[in-house]
């Protein structure tokens, strides 16, 4: 499948609440493949959500296994349809970046451990517990499904937003 263009802030689709996926069909499988291909193409990207490529459905992918912060603690490639966080604990501030906001990074508070449930591409319901960097990446991508960007979670634009040196 082709690599898709990533929408950039302030594109209005990035602020939309996404619709739940009803039936998992070929179009959803194609969307997931597009998301995976787009994620792998992005510099240092560990995830991408459907609205970032212009599709307002609750689908996202995350894979932190090749990132230095996630290589020792991950579930591999997660292709998540209609993900829902069912429990969370802990809190930490981490620096986040986003392909839709390529010129900036920011300090964001997130749960350090989450339990979530989602459908896999074959329709199987899966429940996992993620922690550390993987939990942060999943929360970041799931925020996109609710029209929330990391910019919306920075407590102080003055002290928590940073211009990226290179992307």
120 is catalytic: no
Return the pLDDT at 153.
97
Return the pLDDT at 167.
56
pTM above 0.75, yes or no: yes
Count Cα atoms within 13 angstroms, Cβ side, for 43. Answer: 8
Tens digits of pLDDT across the chain (167 residues): 589 999 999 999 999 999 999 999 999 999 999 999 999 999 899 999 999 999 999 999 999 999 999 999 999 999 999 999 999 999 999 999 999 999 999 999 999 999 999 999 999 999 999 999 999 999 999 999 999 999 999 988 889 999 998 65
List the domain boundaries for the chain: 12-163
* Partners of 106 in the β-ladder: 96, 161
**Among 78, 102, 97, 96, CA closest to 7:** 102
Return the pLDDT at 141.
98
The active-site residue out of 41, 84, 96, 141 is: 141
**Among 3, 18, 25, 19, CA closest to 146:** 18
CATH topology of domain 12-163: Peptide Deformylase (3.90.45)
* Partners of 47 in the β-ladder: 62
Contact indicator for 90, 104 with CB cutoff of 8 Å: no
Return the pLDDT at 1.
59
């Amino acid at each position: 499948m082709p690599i898709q263009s990533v929408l950039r802030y302030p594109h209005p689709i990035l602020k939309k609440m996404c619709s739940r996926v009803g039936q998992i069909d070929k179009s959803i499988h194609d969307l997931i493949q597009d998301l995976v291909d787009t994620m792998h193409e992005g510099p240092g990207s560990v995830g991408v959500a459907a609205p970032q490529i212009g599709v307002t459905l609750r689908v996202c992918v995350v894979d932190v296994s090749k990132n230095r912060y996630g290589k020792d603690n991950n579930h591999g490639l997660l292709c998540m349809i209609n993900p829902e966080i069912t429990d969370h604990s802990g809190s930490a501030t981490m620096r986040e970046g986003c392909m839709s906001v390529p010129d900036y990074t920011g300090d964001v508070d997130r749960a350090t451990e989450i339990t979530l449930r989602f459908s896999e591409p074959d329709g199987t319901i899966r429940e996992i517990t993620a922690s550390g960097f993987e939990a942060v990446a999943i929360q970041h991508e799931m925020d996109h499904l609710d029209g929330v960007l990391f910019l919306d979670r920075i407590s102080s634009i003055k002290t928590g937003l940073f211009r990226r040196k290179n992307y």
